[in-house]
Structure 1
């Protein structure tokens, strides 16, 4: 069978790229001819939109018009040489084909599940609500034509029902995790709590950093980096100083305002004082790490904290569980929340630094509980193999 995978190319290699490569390799080993059709998603322009757009309108909301431009590009693609096509990130699901599978992990998030938060924080662009209305309408029309939508989690399936009104053509697909992680059998220790992932809004590593200030005798480790890393380090300095002076900065201010670089005068003054104080933080920033170093971080972690808001899937949590680590996630964590059985393989807590700190402290105080919950977490991770994942893909394709 000739299979085309339609993939927007963002010039990065992240979790989605790993999933696509694995699916391609597995399908090829099963005897299928597979071609990944990359479409450069970094270009800005209007060349595919069949009607005129004023330059000033484009500049005011270029992200929207880029989306529409790519929507038309995918809509016009000739994919007739393939027996089956698999679309991936939005708006690649606009492609037209009688056997179309959409591997679906998220919408244009700022116009869907993050829309209200984006407006609250002040990150919305002009005409946000009208843009949102247009995107939701064209997305719904496209997705309704897809043969099968494979939602990456129950959270995503729920969003498709909520925002696009689709149920009958939606199934679940849980991606497997890296085989080296799934089959890890090296040494395990329980030392520092860690948070792993990109530093982007609203992943909320800021809540982890603030939680660590409430348990100063414990060292926390922040693994990874991203567009918000510099602000995250400033927040750590600021919170270290504020805690030393018994100054409370609310959680919402920390992860909604400071994480986006919105420091008010009072906070800027505190930050300047903190930089002069040279107080030692109990949070270590590792920066980006190699795969082997990541394995060591997981293997030596007391627990893994996954504080993100409305996560699509929860890959980090499953990886952590493969290393027999309890996972702490938040009740509004989306895909993370659906993986946690509270008190069994981790803790599901309110999205506050206080709740996260309490959960970490409970684990630090009870080594036997940590090991017991870690073993339960490991059993949970056994469901997320690539063998199980490809069984679902094969079932749909055949």
Structure 2
């Protein structure tokens, strides 16, 4: 069992609260400092070793302390060159851009690097609004795309939007969640048809003739690992092409094999016009960017740079991470481990009255908790399960539009035994959690 917060953590928490903003939350009644890690486990300042099933919000993609990645980063540090700037040629930037361009599936692709997913989304919005000479964007309900002004504008979850002030005109189409809005009884085919007709009506009545782009997540992560319905994204893109509207696919959480395929969009019969990436590609170092069709990526009429985007240190980590993904076939590993995780939880939690649904695509999974016999979100239950899991030395996230989902995003290198251990802990935590 965890020893919870020691005196040094209490002192650090006081310092944190004095200098950090109140809108930046911390997990747990007694917050945790992580001081070391190896593989899929981390050690807290309390001296407890935890199985880590959140991966720094999907960022530590292949785990902690990976020797091949550590050595590559240390080798770059030994050169003394951590940063130059995009005003100079950077060999590793070109090498990584070439690899991502080849992996993207986009014709005649161009790549630009940033420091985060938020900045990458913002850049995609900048480019498509310039390209289409329009500030109208279509996004999905229940979506999340980052914390900046433009990224929050297209976010379809009001819990993250604040006052909703926006530099863009935004309309929100339906995402993968069908239980609300009178569509719960529709099968996949009928739901996709209804969503597509709704998009057509949106374009015909509620948006200007020129719309800059539509931005989507193949699996809506913050919403609680909600996948788009089979056929939904392809049907949307068919409508977009009738109007020459670019499709931006946000792969910040779904990219690099997490869903069981290299890209989340590969579960759908589409090819994005712009693909946004970040998080796992740096395996913990700051790395984001976008890859898109040349004509869109070339649409700026003025010079622009990213001072720290594509810096040599992050590039080195990203190249080593891609090598590790490829040499260990981690998309296949994610698909295999994800099946064990989701099917195991579905089986073990099938009779739990507080569990509404267990869902997942690869190792992007969630358990949704609702009041027994209703769809009323059980936020206290999800939070209690998270706390109880920590007591049992497992770290998980909490999310969902109402905060009633336990989110599971382990490193793609997690072992089968570790997955089964997590299933046992989550099952026990659900049965014993405070409500």
- Common fold, TM-score beyond 0.5? no
Q: Which has the higher helix share?
A: 1
Question: TM-score scaled to structure 2, two decimals?
Answer: 0.29
Question: TM-score scaled to structure 1, two decimals?
Answer: 0.31
Structure with more relative contact order (C-alpha pairs < 8 Å, separation 6 or more): 2
